[in-house]
Structure 1
Amino acid sequence: MRLPTYAGMLEEFRLTGDPLIPRAPSVPLTRTAFAAAHVVSDPLAERDPWVGRPAVDWENTLRFRHWLWDQGLGLAEAMDTAQRGMGVDWLTAKELIERTMREAKAHPLKPRVACGAGTDQVPLAELKTADAVLAAYSEQMEAIEAAGGQVIIMASRAFPAIGADSATYERVYRRLIDQAAAPVILHWLGDMFDPALKGYWGTRDAAEASETVLRIIGENPAKVDGIKISLLDKAHEEEFRKRLPGGVRLYTGDDFNYSDLIEGDGKYHSHALLGIFAAIAPAASQALEALAKGDKATYHALLLPTVPLAREIFKAPTQFYKAGIAFLAWLNGAQSHFIMPGGFQSSREITHYAEVFRLAEKARLLSKPDLAKERMSLLLRLHGIE
């Protein structure tokens, strides 16, 4: 088949790889691994996709979650990967959480599910005080706990919008942590993923922000399961995790450097809460299985080829990464389409999808090659490429 390139040319490409077959790990994993999953819309039910609530395709959306669980991965639900604040509103996210938790409880592997709590049910213009932000978070946390999910306290655009200082973050987060029914996961999301989060923790200086976060965790470490850091800064994450209290995990959200960070340095390592794991699930699951067996050669052989793919999926503008993840789910038959809320599949160009296809094949991640080729060909023809 002929695939477009970034040079504006068409280039011959043949599927030659030996694809990984999705399966469950044969041993317990030594790293906690959450894959952050996306949402797809029902093409027949969607109306005015840029306006109002999406018409979620529940069958395909939940089917993808089962695909992840069947491979032994946990799930991070209703996060930015699921287009929170980018087409998916709180009422839709709440229904997603409730449906997902019912499915998870019935799944034979009893997967871990952690769910994002934010403040997006209240218009940003109405979140003018710390108490208003606290109340909005509390409402969502209560809904997640009622459904049986673990809480992830997501970063809220409301804090930068009101110019919150570090003391305000500390006061609100301490209340949220203290009142949670079970240990929570904190989320430090960089502005490369959401520009509205610039200056989170009350400063644009990463070192100063780290001190604020560590003080918050240090106040009640027994109620903090861990913190997900998504800054795409390997050195910062390695230094930060050394300073965490015992028992508090560092969940890497670094979709560029996850291989080294998860392996660790022999003394410290990161766990995983990653959007890219939803795209590379067979490689991630089987690599973590190898790591649990002490087979680092296989771990690297499986994960290292996925890094170029991750860098392509998460290329700038990074906030559009979820389109590539949904695309791969479609190629692999985990979903029957990749129509996304808000028409988000149009946020990436055909050359990007062609490059994702190439790199996924090289990473052994086109698990159904004939189906992947057929679907890629359909997309090419839609773009006038025969």
Structure 2
Amino acid sequence: MPTLQLPTSSGASEAYALRGTSWPASRPSAPFNRVVFSAAHVVVDPLADADPSSGGVIDWDATLAYRRYLAELGLGIAEAMDTAQRGMGLGWADSLTLIRRTREALAGTDVPVFNGCGTDHLDLAEVNSLDDVVAAYQAQVDAIQSAGGRLILMASRALARVARTPDDYVGVYRRVLAGAQQPVILHWLGDMFDSALKGYWGTNDLDLARDAVLQVIEDNRDKVDGIKISLLDKDSEIDMRRRLPASVKMYTGDDFNYPELIAGDAQGHSHVLLGIFDAIAPAASHALGALAAGDSARFHEILAPTVPLSRRIFGAPTRFYKTGVVFLAYLNGHQSHMVMLAGHQAMRPLPYFVDVFKLADQAGLLRDPDLAAARMRQFLAVYGVGQ
């Protein structure tokens, strides 16, 4: 196994020998017993002459190839979500193109694909009323449904700006859901992922916010497939899961505690809609296969080493977790570079990348150790770290 010199927190360097046994990327032998979505990142064209402040130019071939890779592993796709830098480099026009092209690329597969639907084409400075928010949601609902897509109703910065009470949220969601042709997934994204969403649902009290969400679901049962909670708080997720109507799924968005939430307890379990599954896809697929076969011990054994990696990738400031996800795709040869939309490759310090490299190795998530080591050496050289 290759060895390389890695910088330490003290500024010195140490020899690190890769030690992990890589998980093979293989098609599941049987269906999973959880509904599973991986939110997927986008690959940028690094040679495009584009101002990073405008986002960037997408490499469509590499982006769609990655979705085919996830689908081969049995993972559904949550498209045009925050993992794809939605609202942080990926705008609505490219999002809709991505939604359409992913649908075409995965036609004929049996994996589910749902698509992020929001209000991000609005200029927040020009949003003055709840009606403005509803109209914006409805425009994206219509566009995605016209393309044949299913919906994930994303949290709205515009709604957080103009809403004042939980009732405002309940009313907006009721009006938007009326236009849904098929049941949607609601997405409650915490402010650790997006500071503009602080106080979403009209309150900073999580219990009152939960009650507002439950009211939305109760008022629109036939329009809601499930809800994803991204609060990084397993107790809040479990509490809400136990309060949901039987027809409504809980999709875990907890990238810190996902194994126990997916495994569940005597009172129920969570399904999956996770950004970390982009980065740990082979291990996730094998673990879910074990769970479906009734081997919960093996499920936990496979996923346990991925949790420290996920907690480092999603560590504060959490909104920049996409940098770690793309870094692993680069190390694993899914893309030839580390460039990201809006220059987000620069949004983490070197010790973060060193930790992600080591933790990914220890979790068996570097599929070609020689390639990963070579790319890590190139990456370190940019920081002036020689070998």
TM-score normalised over the length of structure 2: 0.97
For structure 1, the 5+ residue unaligned runs are none
Residue 32 (structure 1) aligns with: 35
Deviations 1:255-285 (A, max 9, x none): 0000000000133100110000101001111
The number of aligned residues is 383
Q: Answer yes or no: is the 8 Å Cα contact 1:5–1:355 preserved in 2.
A: no
- Equivalent runs, 1:62-211 vs 2, <5 Å: 62-106=64-108, 109-211=109-211
List 4+ stretches of structure 1 deviating above 3 A.
none
Inter-partner Cα distance in structure 2 for 1:372 and 1:221: 47
Residue 322 (str. 1) matches residue 325 (str. 2): no
Q: Answer yes or no: is the 8 Å Cα contact 1:5–1:351 preserved in 2.
A: yes
Deviation at 1:370, TM superposition (A): 1.2
Letter in 1 for 2:68: H
Inter-partner Cα distance in structure 1 for 2:365 and 2:262: 20
Deviation at 1:335, TM superposition (A): 1.9
Q: Answer yes or no: is the 8 Å Cα contact 2:89–2:341 preserved in 1.
A: yes
Deviation at 1:166, TM superposition (A): 1.0
Tell me the SS of whatever aligns to 2:78: strand
Deviation at 1:32, TM superposition (A): 0.8
Q: Answer yes or no: is the 8 Å Cα contact 1:283–1:302 preserved in 2.
A: yes
Deviations 1:106-153 (A, max 9, x none): 4xx332111101101110122211111001011111111122221000
Residue 6 (structure 1) aligns with: 9
Deviations 1:329-369 (A, max 9, x none): 11112222231111111101221111101000100111111
Tell me the SS of whatever aligns to 2:365: coil
Inter-partner Cα distance in structure 1 for 2:19 and 2:362: 8
Deviations 1:212-248 (A, max 9, x none): 1001100121210100000011111111000101120
Letter in 2 for 1:321: Y
Tell me the SS of whatever aligns to 1:186: strand
> RMSD between aligned alpha carbons?
1.1
Inter-partner Cα distance in structure 2 for 1:40 and 1:46: 15
Tell me the SS of whatever aligns to 1:201: coil
Inter-partner Cα distance in structure 1 for 2:11 and 2:134: 50
Inter-partner Cα distance in structure 2 for 1:235 and 1:227: 16
**Bigger mean CA deviation after superposition, 79-88 or 201-210:** 79-88
Q: Answer yes or no: is the 8 Å Cα contact 2:55–2:342 preserved in 1.
A: no
TM-score normalised over the length of structure 1: 0.97
For structure 2, the 5+ residue unaligned runs are none
Inter-partner Cα distance in structure 2 for 1:331 and 1:53: 23
The percent of aligned pairs where both chains have the same amino acid is 53
Inter-partner Cα distance in structure 2 for 1:150 and 1:64: 20
Deviations 1:172-205 (A, max 9, x none): 1012222201000000000000001000000000
Deviation at 1:381, TM superposition (A): 1.1
Inter-partner Cα distance in structure 2 for 1:183 and 1:46: 41
Q: Answer yes or no: is the 8 Å Cα contact 1:60–1:336 preserved in 2.
A: no
Deviation at 1:164, TM superposition (A): 2.8
Residue 253 (structure 1) aligns with: 253
Q: Answer yes or no: is the 8 Å Cα contact 2:22–2:365 preserved in 1.
A: yes
